[in-house]
Amino acid sequence: MINASCGIAARTKAVLRDIFGFHFFRPNQEEIIQAILAKQDCFVVMPTGGGKSLCYQLPAHIMDGTCIVISPLISLMKDQVDAAIAAGLRASFLNSSLSAHMKREVESRLAAGALDLLYVSPERFALSQFIATIKRVQLSFVAIDEAHCISEWGHDFRPDYLNLSMIVREFPDVPVTSFTATATHRVQKDIVDKLGLRSPHTVRASFNRPNLFYKVIPKQKPGDQILKFVRNHAGEPGIIYRMTRKSVEQTAYMLTRHGIKALPYHAGLSDSIRVENQDAFNKDEVDVIVATIAFGMGIDKSNVRYVLHGDLPKNIESYYQETGRSGRDGEPAHCLLLFGYGDISRIRFFIDEITDDTEKKHAIKCLNDMIHYSTVHACRRKQLLGYFGEDYPLLTSHAEGSPCCDICAGEVESIDATEDAQIVMSAIARTGERFGITHIVAVVTGDDSDRIRQLGHDRIKTYGIGKDRSKRYWRLIIDNLLAQGLILQTKGDYPVLRFQPGSREVLFGSRKVHVMKTRKLPPQSRRGKAGRHGQTRAVGGPYNEELFDQLRDLRKKLAARHGVPPYIIFNNRTLHEMARFFPVTETEMLYITGVGEKRLASYGKHFIEAIKAFRETHPDAQPGDFNNST
């Protein structure tokens, strides 16, 4: 038994190296793969970028039969299959994009046992004809991606996923594995129960994405803020999320008008335009995709360098998954959220339309968790991980000198704003709780207007007491009081500010109010600290930036020639290693992370030739030492 186990372990590591080009498993991968090979049901929570696809692709290559992969979006299946084929796997998909002839061809390969992986949608899996087809072939196991979609307590419930509850009944001898990047313990139990998993091997990987930097700033002029951020990340792929279709279109147009390659993505566009825009982003033909939450589930693009939320997400789970679409290659990525109180009101409007009381309470709690994350002076990463029940050791991280968010980096300070809060509340009280934000700010800053004089508000005690500060500052104080639930803004065409139970505690000095203020810090290099001979810092160490740019251009040309996104050829981390170690033989190339035998045979000679040419024209450029690499 021990020898058999050792043999399986040796084989999995050989496949890892020769097929996928990796020399080490990431945390939890080997454990999950061994459980699948032992034909156990599995439930896996693993963050985006944690290597979920390898967990089912590797055993699918080893095991007899075909693995059925249930993936929610048809538009992503081709990229997933292209990536599997590029690694040397026998893979295909069945969906409505295929012609009748192509469908018959795939079904023929399936019947002949010539597929390791077959990707299908949950809707197709529910068809009785498809069930009958796969009952006639040997299945190795079923892998369900984005499994949180089956839970009504998850952030992205999809009714079509409920059909998957029949898998265990229809295929009692076939193991079932479910994967998701986000699941609280409540959602986890719901997924396991609905799928009917049988004593599943359960893995909750760390939700920590150490390469992501989280930042929140007050939303003031979102168009200007977005433009400035994108310009600071010029040439880098990024995703911008907006709340409405209209704001998506406006933001994409604004960026394009300023010379930035950007495209919109939302449910109001035709299927063909959405596919075209996503393909253009995947192929690095545009730098920015501006989207509603309709975009991104399961996106495989590995080199997204930032995710910017121009509006407040409805819950932590959505926010975590959306930010997780950046930095899948393990390289540094930036997650920026613009926080404004107006977004809370818009989300509350939709929550108030919910008729089920339990569902409404859950939605309110989710929104309050999101507000707390955005407004509390505490490590963003610690808050995110804490939401999923994981503790983040701050002292360990800081000792390593790697601040993970704006709070830890000292970009934000917590200031005692109790006196200013009292000024605002006094103005609300003295005007009878009958006026809105704009009027209260005008009173505090001492506006000399006919309306204020007619109402007699120029004679109250707090009139003009805050004229030494800007209206923007006082609006920020009010936004913080609203976010902290210390005052309330009514609904309707003429919303006014009203006191809440905690208001008088602040007004009479028994409760403190703190707000976060952004510190101005010196700008830092977009690509990191440059070294001699054009070297730039990256996760694995310094690399030659000029060579990296040449290899990236080569990758783009090869991708266009083969009709696949560039990251399917090699991801940025692989190119960084090439630009660090300068491999010029096939043996040296196989030392590079992400270069397996199939990719070496398909693309290796082109990159070796480019590196040789670079070394000839740059004799002073020094490669790193393979022997000293990790």
Q: How far apart are CA 603 and CA 589, in angstroms?
A: 11
Q: Return the DSSP state at 626.
A: G
- The answer to whether 385 and 391 are in contact (CB under 8 A) is yes
Collapsing DSSP to helix, strand or coil, 151 comes out as coil
* CA 571 remoteness from chain centre: 17
Task: Give ∠ CA 394-396-401 in degrees, rounded to 5.
Answer: 95
| pLDDT tens digits along 9-49 | 888 999 999 999 998 998 899 999 999 999 999 999 998 77
Q: What is the pLDDT of residues 421-462, one digit of tens each?
A: 999 999 999 999 999 999 999 999 999 999 999 999 999 999
Query: Where does 94-160 show beta strands of DSSP type E?
Result: 117-120, 139-144
Q: What is the pLDDT of residues 496-538, one digit of tens each?
A: 999 998 898 998 888 998 888 777 655 554 444 434 344 455 5
Token reading at 272? 């063909």
408 burial via Cβ count (<10 Å: 0-12, 13-18, 19+): buried
Q: What does the mean pLDDT of the chain come to?
A: 88
Task: Compute the average pLDDT of residues 465-489.
Answer: 88
> From its phi and psi, is residue 469 left (phi > 0), alpha (psi between -120 and 50) or beta?
beta
Q: Element (H or E) spanning 288, and its range?
A: strand 288-291
pLDDT at 526: 40
What's the rounded mean pLDDT across residues 179-190? 88
Q: What is the pLDDT of residue 394?
A: 63
pTM for the structure as a whole: 0.80
Using alpha carbons, select from 604, 576, 571 the residue that is nearest to residue 590. 604
User: How confident is the model over 599-614, as a mean pLDDT?
Assistant: 95
202 has a pLDDT exceeding 50: yes
DSSP class of 176: E
Task: Give the contacts of 348 (CB within 8 A, at least 6 positions apart).
Answer: 364, 367
Q: Which amino acid is at 489?
A: Q
Q: How far is CA 166 from the centre of its chain?
A: 30
Q: Grade residue 326 by pLDDT with cuts at 50, 70 and 90.
A: very high
- Residue 244 confidence class, pLDDT cut points 50, 70, 90: very high
Architecture of domain 212-411: 3-Layer(aba) Sandwich (3.40)
Tell me: pLDDT of 628 over 70: no
How far apart, in whole angstroms, are the C-alpha atoms of residue 444 and residue 467? 7
Average pLDDT (188-192) is 92
Strands, E assignment, 167-311: 176-180, 201-204, 212-218, 238-241, 262-265, 288-291, 306-309
For residue 613 the two structure tokens come to 């040419």
* DSSP-assigned letter for residue 530: B
Is the distance from CB of 323 to CB of 182 less than 8 angstroms?
A: no
Task: Residue count of the chain, please give it.
Answer: 630
Which is it for the CA torsion 91, 95, 98, 103, positive or negative? Answer: positive
Q: What angle do CA 391, 394, 399 make, to 5 degrees?
A: 140
Residue 335 buriedness (CB in 10 A; 0-12 / 13-18 / 19+): buried
For residue 406, give the amino acid letter: D
Check whether 627 has a pLDDT greater than 70. no
Residues 6+ apart with CB under 8 A from 359: none
Q: What is the spatial distance between Cα 35 and Cα 14, in angstroms, rounded to a whole number?
A: 18
pLDDT value for 5: 54
Residues 6+ apart with CB under 8 A from 41: 175, 176, 177, 197, 198, 199, 200, 201
Contacts of 5 (CB under 8 A, 6+ apart): none
Does domain 532-628 correspond to CATH entry 1.10.150.80?
yes
Digit-coded pLDDT (tens) for 124-149: 888 889 999 999 999 999 999 989 88
pLDDT at 482: 86
Q: Which CATH number fits domain 2-204: 3.20.20.70, 3.40.50.300, 3.30.70.1050, 3.40.50.20?
A: 3.40.50.300
DSSP 625: P
What integer pLDDT is reported at residue 1 of this predicted model?
Answer: 36
Q: Name the pLDDT band for 297 (thresholds 50, 70, 90).
A: low
* 176 beta partners: 142
Same fold flag, 2-204 and 212-411: yes
State the pLDDT at residue 538.
58
- Give residue 528's pLDDT: 43
Taking 3-state DSSP, the helix, strand and coil percentages for the chain, each rounded to the nearest 5, stand at: 45, 15, 40
Percent of the chain with pLDDT over 90: 59
Q: Is the pLDDT of residue 556 over 80?
A: yes
Q: Which residues contact 310 (CB under 8 A, 6 or more apart)?
A: 219, 222, 226, 240, 241, 242, 243, 247, 251, 338
Question: First and final CA of the chain: distance in angstroms?
Answer: 33
For residue range 310-319, what is the model confidence (pLDDT) as tens digits?
Answer: 999 999 989 9
Q: Which CATH architecture has domain 416-518?
A: Orthogonal Bundle (1.10)
Torsion of CA 444, 447, 448, 451, to 10 degrees: -90
d(CA 627, CA 170): 52
Whether 626 shows a pLDDT value over 70: the answer reads no
The pLDDT value recorded for residue 551 is 96
What are the tens digits of pLDDT across the range 155-181?
677 888 888 999 999 999 999 999 998
Judge residue 133's burial from the number of C-beta atoms within 10 Å of its C-beta, 0-12 exposed, 13-18 middle, 19 or more buried: middle
* 254 — pLDDT class (breaks 50, 70, 90): very high
Nearest 5°: the CA angle 324, 327, 329 is 125
The domain limits of the chain are 2-204, 212-411, 416-518, 532-628
pLDDT tens for residues 87-110?
A: 999 999 998 888 999 999 999 999
74, 95 contact by CB (below 8 A): yes
